[in-house]
Structure 1
């Protein structure tokens, strides 16, 4: 009789649905909380990496605009002659360069977030090349007053942007599309640069 009571108690303890449901719900709550914490940590890391990816090209563009942006207009060659009406004012040129830098930083972050730079280092090389060339254009044209060199730099930056567009599109189509306004802006800068040669 004692052995029957022991078996019955054990069976009742194991088969009791209230006890198993309570244990299962505690485990589910822990799992949900861990998943939520992991998502929050990933979101924080994602926001930090996005901030760095956008802040780096923007800070380079701001540095260029502050230290190398001309206060006299488009260099010494345009002082004697009037500039064409379609030349943007310098503040608009700087703001559009900043917008282009922002788009390129965002596009590069989208590629990086999907592991595109690790799988395809050529995309990273194109991005770094366009970053350096775009940063070099303003000091060359406005401070050194070398429009020939500026035109070559602008064309090389355009080539790097074409490479970025093709490589980024393979990894993330949205990132490839974000490069297109930057391509249009660089084309416009090349036309402005070409016109500066003949003024």
Structure 2
């Protein structure tokens, strides 16, 4: 037999780019799906607190005492105060979403309690200061919000540095609200 002259039959294989492309396409499709879910959760995380803050401003945000108050230059007009409160709430919602996306609320549920507690106190400030005229209680609430934000900053720092850094302007704003409450109380 001529086994030495026999050659192995080879089949020509096509490059496997179709499999690589399908795997790559599936990965990109999964990334797009996750990005859409992330945008949906971000929009919900921003919408609900902003609507609550706007409702709070609408229901409790006017006061004749504040308009007639002889305020110094560092105390903003009421419209600027409300816009800054809305901006602070939006920024803090973004911080909370960043921590949630990193799994911080699941790892440490106390962070969620701090976050929602300070948000509730910040909503209470308008009611106390403008509707009820309880300036001393407004000062206590502003101090409580500052404390809650500082604790959120410390807890968020363990999860996300960006979220922790975004809490600092909100902390500064709540400190200014505390000074406004003190100024109202002393007059």
**TM-score, length basis structure 1:** 0.86
Q: Hey, what does 2:33 align to over in structure 1? A: 41
Greater helix share, 1 or 2?
1
Distance 1:27 1:118 in 2: 37
Q: Hey, what does 1:138 align to over in structure 2? A: 126
* Deviation sequence 1:106-127 (CA, Å, 0-9, x none): 1111111110111111211110
Distance 2:111 2:172 in 1: 20
Distance 1:160 1:59 in 2: 21
> C-alpha displacement at 1:25, in angstroms?
1.7
> C-alpha displacement at 1:72, in angstroms?
2.3
Q: Is residue 17 from structure 1 mapped to residue 5 from structure 2 by the alignment?
A: no
Larger Cα-atom Rg? 1
Equivalent residues, number = 182
1:65 to 57, 60, 70: 57
Q: Structure 2: state its 5+ residue gaps.
A: 2-6
Q: Is residue 149 from structure 1 mapped to residue 145 from structure 2 by the alignment?
A: no
Q: Is residue 52 from structure 1 mapped to residue 44 from structure 2 by the alignment?
A: yes
Q: Hey, what does 1:4 align to over in structure 2? A: none
How large is the RMSD of aligned CA atoms in angstroms? 1.7
> C-alpha displacement at 1:73, in angstroms?
4.8
1:83-98 alignment runs, 5 A limit = 83-98=71-86
48-57 vs 64-73, which moves further: 64-73
Change (3 A) 1:71 1:156: closer
